[in-house]
Amino acid sequence: MADELIFQPAARLAAQLTAGKISSVRLLQAFLSRTMAVDGRVKAFNSHDETGALVQARAADERRAAGRARGPLDGLPVGLKDVIAVEGQPLTCSSKMLANFISPYDATVSVKLKAAGAILWGRMNMDEFAMGSSTENSAFGPTANPWDLSRVPGGSSGGAAAAVAAGELPFALGSDTGGSIRQPAAFCGIVGLKPTYGLVSRYGLAAFASSLDQIGTLTRTVEDAALLLGAIAGHDPQDSTSFRTEIPDYRAELKKRRGTWRLGVPREYFGAGLDPEIGAAVKSAIEFYRQSGCEIKEVSLPLAAEYAVAVYYLIATAEASSNLARYDGVRFGHRSTKAKDTVDLYCQSRAEGFGEEVKRRIILGTHVLSSGYYDAYYMRAQKVRTLIRNEFVCVFRDCDALLSPTTPTAAFRLGEKSADPLAMYLNDIYTISVNLAGLPGVSIPCGFTGTGLPIGLQLIGQPFQEADLLAIAHRYEQGHDWHTKHPALS
């Protein structure tokens, strides 16, 4: 019975709460006991506030009993990647630097989720400061992939993805700078949505690379993604890059939008480096769309395919080196006790507080911004970024969305790539250009490898056209049952 609850889509749980078939307290207890049973092996959570969550669940049940339920999310537990602020809760970014940090205020998404009645209780593990593709760069230890505990869950939102896949949470919020929602969603067999840059407020999201970061959703189904996106999207005066646009009822739109879409398939995304099993699963998904009446067009994104990773690692590290300058051991965060003077305080606190990948990226970012190298690296990368964006603008003249693999391979083994940063970076080859161009992208399950590892199909949409993107993804999901399969974790 509990098993039935923990693997149900959030939309179905919401319907049962509304119908009075279950209570929020009982639902939370099911997730709590699942977490107790499996998280010792999955290690998806950095922390959770069980007492606070039960108080929120009781309040939700009382609202519902009094006929004052706040909507479908009221009483549903949600996990937040440990990079999103919730007042009074820890915000560690999985870094020793912020190991003891307590958020003094709510992120805008947290305010919105609270207003919708959601129970904000779990702080999910991640690569330190969202820098990584495996969740191995966490100061608190790696998260395991629930489908094979010897493999990574992906990253950087690996804890959030693993917890949803393992039935420890119905859904979660993550952040995606170069694929950090879509890639772990693909590795864990769930749905990961990165919205258009500017659709969801970044206020209260600890910054990594501000021109690329976007908060998004990790869910069991596309309908759940629509449900959760609707709760967090919208203009926010506290984020100057937040965009004023009408927010449709994404969930209602899933059923309304039934076009014969024009879907582009970028030929360069099926070349060398793509695992044949992944390629075959994605091609079969493309065939499904063709059979269902969509027009499939081969398109070309030569610059995105060849240069996106290089552009990304110059721009993202440059922005990171600037954003992470705030961690100096003075106002908050780790402070070294060894420092002799103020400058030494900065140098030692940062040396002790940051992990290896964060240091590597700060060094690289500082180098590419430094005098004499700025034009050759950073400025050139920004210009190639323009060209990559233009490629997408061009293909979207004839396409409603693009289809591609989310990742070149399925989940790799823990430790397999951790000694070779460049090999790790190349794992994001299909997801990164979406952030550079500021587009929405979603990864949905489209099969399993012969060894039982999930495979992700990436759909890339036009800016602020999430309703179409999700409707297209929903059509595939309706025709398949991948989302009903769960890891055994026995």
Site for other proteins in 292-331 (CB under 8 A): 303, 306-307, 309-311, 313-314, 321, 325, 328-331
Question: Helices 10-18 & 50-65, crossing angle to 10 degrees?
Answer: 50
By CB under 8 A, residue 279 contacts other proteins? no
Cα–Cα distance for residue pair 406/417, rounded to 1 Å? 18
- Smallest gap, in angstroms, from Cβ of residue 196 to other proteins? 8
Which of the following is catalytic: 23, 95, 134, 156? 156
349: annotated active-site residue: no
Which amino acid is it at 114? K
Confirm if 214 and 321 have CB atoms less than 8 A apart.
Answer: no
Residue whose entry in the numeric block shows the structure tokens 């979603």: 442
By CB under 8 A, residue 266 contacts other proteins? no
Residues 18-77 that bind other proteins (CB under 8 A): none
What is the H or E stretch that residue 223 is in? helix 222-232
Distances (CA, A) of 27 to 56, 118, 350: 12, 12, 42
Stretch that binds other proteins, among 144-152, 269-277, 376-384, 394-402 (CB under 8 A): 376-384
Which of the following is catalytic: 43, 81, 96, 417? 81
The phi-psi region of residue 371 (left if phi > 0; otherwise alpha if psi is between -120 and 50; otherwise beta) is beta
- Smallest gap, in angstroms, from Cβ of residue 238 to other proteins? 9
Confirm if 24 and 53 have CB atoms less than 8 A apart.
Answer: no
Cα–Cα distance for residue pair 145/42, rounded to 1 Å? 7
Cα–Cα distance for residue pair 435/214, rounded to 1 Å? 9
Q: Which of 31, 243, 412, 482 binds other proteins (CB under 8 A)?
A: 243
- Name the nearest CA neighbour of 441 among 449, 433, 451, 450: 433
Q: Which of 364, 403, 470, 473 binds other proteins (CB under 8 A)?
A: 364
By CB under 8 A, residue 12 contacts other proteins? no
Which amino acid is it at 278? I
Q: Which residues pair with 145 in a beta bridge?
A: 148
CB atoms inside a 10 Å sphere around CB 22: 16
Q: Which residues pair with 79 in a beta bridge?
A: 122, 172
Which of the following is catalytic: 95, 180, 321, 349? 180
Residues 148-187 that bind other proteins (CB under 8 A): none
By CB under 8 A, residue 462 contacts other proteins? no
Q: Which of 150, 284, 370, 451 binds other proteins (CB under 8 A)?
A: 370
- Smallest gap, in angstroms, from Cβ of residue 318 to other proteins? 11
Distances (CA, A) of 72 to 13, 111, 114, 160, 230: 9, 16, 12, 21, 11
Nearest to other proteins of 170, 234 (CB atom): 234
Stretch that binds other proteins, among 15-23, 32-40, 144-152, 372-380 (CB under 8 A): 372-380
180: annotated active-site residue: yes
**Token pair listed for 169:** 């949470």
Q: Which of 17, 83, 429, 436 binds other proteins (CB under 8 A)?
A: 436
- Name the nearest CA neighbour of 193 among 3, 444, 474: 444
By CB under 8 A, residue 289 contacts other proteins? no
Size of the site for other proteins (CB under 8 A): 74
What's the length of the chain?
A: 490
By CB under 8 A, residue 379 contacts other proteins? yes
81: annotated active-site residue: yes
Q: Which of 377, 412, 430, 476 binds other proteins (CB under 8 A)?
A: 377
- Smallest gap, in angstroms, from Cβ of residue 66 to other proteins? 31
- Smallest gap, in angstroms, from Cβ of residue 462 to other proteins? 12
Q: Which of 438, 440, 447, 487 binds other proteins (CB under 8 A)?
A: 438
Residues 181-210 that bind other proteins (CB under 8 A): 197-198, 210
Q: Which of 4, 298, 341, 481 binds other proteins (CB under 8 A)?
A: 341
- Smallest gap, in angstroms, from Cβ of residue 463 to other proteins? 7
By CB under 8 A, residue 393 contacts other proteins? no
- Smallest gap, in angstroms, from Cβ of residue 56 to other proteins? 21
- Name the nearest CA neighbour of 227 among 200, 196, 254: 254
- Name the nearest CA neighbour of 162 among 244, 245, 81: 81
By CB under 8 A, residue 417 contacts other proteins? no
**Token pair listed for 427:** 């794992």
Please list the active-site residues: 81, 156, 180
